[in-house]
Structure 1
Amino acid sequence: MITQQNVQLKPVSRGNYLMRNVLRHNMVFSEGSKGDAAYILTEGRIEISKNFEDRKKVFAILKPISIFGEMALFLDDGVRTATAIALEDSKVIVVTRDDLDEFMRESPKVIASIITVLVARLKSTTRKAMKAPSVGLGVVRILDLFSTCGKFELKYGATVKALAETFVSTPERIEQYIHGLADQGLLAVGRDENDVRIIRIRERDMLAAVMQKQE
């Protein structure tokens, strides 16, 4: 349950900036909301997360001193791409666009620090994005590994669950990929002699078959 935040003005650097007390489990901002300020964490811990296919993915646990939500200062009419929640009672300084204008006029060192944070975060995000697997291709690669090892029948439920957990996806999304492969004739979904639902892999070299169909 989100309750009203306690806020007060406190002197920060040269001016009076809003110091916000965020109680444990309360949101600083939510994914999809309009971003009009950045925050500097001075006390406590903040969790940064995002919903990915109906599941929460935690990107970072921030400790003082940390800047977050800073892209709102540089993007016009931007929306929040993540949710920030206090893991414990915390204090943050609210930095608005007007504050940024003042910083730019009077505190170039502060701007340099913000840019350094942005660059580091961009590099980290890029590395993670490059490592993030395509879920569809990942499913094919794992099924291909089974077929290469001579395993052509897999229990449907257990396979879907394992693939969903591996790729931080939903079972429904994994089932879409499996049935898509079945529509291509690369595998079949049926039942064994014990009436257990199974996946039958028809292609020994499934990866090559999928890549060939994409050409």
Structure 2
Amino acid sequence: MAMITQQNVQLKQVSRGNYLMRNVLKYNMVFNEGSKGDAAYILTEGKIEISGTVEGRKKVFAILKPISIFGEMALFLEDGVRTATAIALEDSKVIVVTRDDLDEFMRKSPKVIASIITVLVGRLKSTTRKAMKVPSVGLGVVRILDLFSACGKLELKYDPTIKTLAETFVTTPDRIERYVRELADQDLLAVGRDVNDTRIIRIRERDMLAAVMQQQE
């Protein structure tokens, strides 16, 4: 395997917007398990291996091809510690997406980001289960609801939402419901019923993540 060096990694401006394109040579590391992370990545060219340590052994979670999003756990978890390692299996290109980038992109392209949310939630579910690690559940729930809010999706069906969040964070529905009740007590969301008498979660705070973080200060 080739040596992994900073000199092998190049950064350049993407032609549109303020996003950075990172060129990663074959066998070079994009990020390492346990390191601090503050960005996600969109693979546009090449192939990326996602792996982690499970019971003391390397476990390959996925082999990604374009177009794929990875490293998104850093945008959801409170401590931002990487739960997996990403290595290029061939010369690759990735777009670097920070939290600020994601928020800006959501404001400009709400229809596109709606489909990205589905990918992120699915990856959260898969990565968490395979790595057998439970992230910061409360903040993770807030972050996902915040993404839906940013897309203008302010009403969610209660039962499917609770079930999906419980599966995503490998926890019980009761625990998710407890977080939802706490958010309702803070008037950040409300639990009620729609015109069809279906139980729903109604997001009341457009910038829920910022509101929660401010309350914790």
Partners of 1:93 and 1:86 lie apart in 2 by 14
Q: Which residue is 1:62 aligned to?
A: 64
Q: Could you list the runs of 5+ residues in structure 2 that have no partner in the other structure?
A: 133-217
Partners of 2:103 and 2:74 lie apart in 1 by 13
**How far off its partner does 1:17 sit?**
1.0
Q: Which residue is 1:108 aligned to?
A: 110
Pair 1:9 & 2:13 matched:
yes
**How far off its partner does 1:122 sit?**
4.1
Partners of 2:34 and 2:131 lie apart in 1 by 20
- The count of residues paired between Structure 1 and Structure 2 equals 128
Q: Which residue is 2:186 aligned to?
A: none
Partners of 2:44 and 2:12 lie apart in 1 by 14
**How far off its partner does 1:110 sit?**
3.1
Amino acid at match of 2:110: P
In structure 2, relative to structure 1, the CA distance for the partners of 1:126 and 1:37 (3 Å cut) is closer
Amino acid at match of 1:78: G
Partners of 1:111 and 1:96 lie apart in 2 by 14
Q: Which residue is 1:166 aligned to?
A: none
**How far off its partner does 1:126 sit?**
7.1
Amino acid at match of 1:87: L
RMSD over aligned Cα, in angstroms?
2.0
Larger Rg: 1
Partners of 1:58 and 1:70 lie apart in 2 by 17
Aligned to 2:94, which of 92, 95, 100?
A: 92
Q: Which residue is 1:71 aligned to?
A: 73
Partners of 1:126 and 1:77 lie apart in 2 by 15
In structure 2, relative to structure 1, the CA distance for the partners of 1:31 and 1:124 (3 Å cut) is closer
Amino acid at match of 2:66: P
**How far off its partner does 1:65 sit?**
0.2
Q: Which residue is 1:169 aligned to?
A: none
The correspondence of residues 1-215 of structure 1 with structure 2, limited to 5 A, is 1-4=3-6, 5-12=9-16, 15-125=17-127
Partners of 1:60 and 1:67 lie apart in 2 by 12
Deviations 1:57-92 (A, max 9, x none): 100000000000112112233200000000000000
Q: Could you list the runs of 5+ residues in structure 1 that have no partner in the other structure?
A: 131-215
In structure 2, relative to structure 1, the CA distance for the partners of 1:51 and 1:45 (3 Å cut) is same
Q: Determine what percentage of the aligned residue pairs are the same residue.
A: 85
Q: TM-score scaled to structure 2, two decimals?
A: 0.54
Q: TM-score scaled to structure 1, two decimals?
A: 0.55
**How far off its partner does 1:117 sit?**
0.2
Runs (4+) of structure 1 exceeding 3 A deviation are 122-130
